[in-house]
Amino acid sequence: MALLLCAIFSSFIVLTILGFLSYFMAPVVVNGEFRELLGTIWNPASNSFGIVPMLIGSLCVSFTAVILAYPVATGLSFYCNGIGPRFLGNKLRTLIEFMVCVPTVVYAFVSAILLAPMLRSMLQHGSGFSWLAASLTLTMLVLPTIFLMINASMREASSKFRVLALSLGMTQAQTLAWVITPQAKRGFKAGLILGLGRAVGDTIISLMLAGNAAQFPDSVLDSVRTLTAHIALVVATDPNSLAYQSIFFCGLLLCVISAMTNLGLKMVSK
């Protein structure tokens, strides 16, 4: 009963947020300024308020981070669940659990001081504040999230089936590949959803590392602006301006992106 109330309450909050975003967006849609927001140029000085570059920026930065983090997290989960020695595996898990607790601003700040100047001097292109810098730092952020989801479901499957599989004569590797992994499918999917969610939703890392130029990137070393960083940069402007209105649209887009990844994965898995 208490759980049901909690569930109703949280879905109510989510729906309220969506309702508010739509409510604030309504005037922009009604009087046609909406088309302005779908433009490809953001330059308030010349009355261009297109947020498509930010949408592309968000997708580039977050997908790259997940693509980098996912294989590493998967490998680490295998290591902790049979491939590696149990003692080291446990130590590793504790370390990664600790990584979840590190506030994102710490990653962002350290990267701004160390990673961005390093990329600049190594690659001799641009300022270092770039798509690549943001993605690499986001990788550190989403890796533990993905790992913990996969690891939890692999452990559960292990406790049920490992002894059985081993007693049937399967090797450790065979057990992992043919028994544990299929059983832990839900964890692999949940890790992907949560990882993407965190990567798309994080603000301070992209704000401090991506460079925030509202442009389409030509290379991973170019400066990009994400939807979340855009909201943070524009939120203090005049509430009557279209620049300010654009942040509600960004909020709505962010919700749509998470909802679509969720639904997409649900459909794929059926």
Partner 1 sequence: MIVVRDARVSVFLVFIFLVFSFAAHAGELDRFQGMDGTLDIAGGTAHIPVMKEAAQKIMTFNPKIKITIAAGGSGVGVQKVGEGLVGIGNTGRALSQAEIEKFGLKSFPFAIDGVAVAVNPENPVTELTSSQVQDIFSGKIKNWKDVNGKDSAINLYTRDEASGTREVFWDILLKKGPVDQSANVVASNGAMKLALSKDPNGIGYVGIGHVDKTIKAITLDGKIPSQENAADGSYKVTRKLYMNTKGEPQGLTKAFIEYVKGPDGVVFIEKSGYIPLK
Q: Which residues bind partner 1 (CB under 8 A)?
A: 41, 43-45, 112-113, 116-117, 120, 126-129, 207-208, 211-215, 222-223, 225, 232-240, 243
- Residue with Cβ nearer partner 1 (42 or 147): 42
Q: How far is the CB of 115 from partner 1 (least distance, A)?
A: 11
84, 176 contact by CB (below 8 A): no
Q: Could you tell me which of 255, 243, 247, 245 has the C-alpha nearest to residue 229? A: 247
CB of 202 to partner 1, least distance (A): 15
Q: Which of 225, 100, 210 lies closest to 152 in space, CA to CA?
A: 100
CA separation for the pair 197, 262 (Å, rounded): 9
Nearer to partner 1, 73 or 133 (CB): 133
Helical residues (DSSP H) of 79-130, grouped into ranges? 86-101, 104-110, 116-123
Residue number with CB closer to partner 1 (151 or 206): 206
Percent of the chain as helix, strand, coil, to the nearest 5 = 80, 0, 20
Q: Which is nearer to partner 1, 84 or 201 (CB)?
A: 201
Q: Which C-beta is closer to partner 1: that of 24 or that of 79?
A: 24
Q: Residue 93 or 222: which CB sits closer to partner 1?
A: 222
Closest contact distance (angstroms) between CB of 14 and partner 1 is 28
Q: How far is the CB of 215 from partner 1 (least distance, A)?
A: 5
Exposure string (b/e) for 96-134, b if CB count within 10 Å is 16 or more? beeeeeeebeebbeebbeebbeebbeeeeebebbbbbbb
Please state the closest distance from residue 16 (CB atom) to partner 1, in A.
25
| Rounded CA separation 115/118 (Å) | 5
Residue 39 CB, shortest distance to partner 1, in Å, is 13
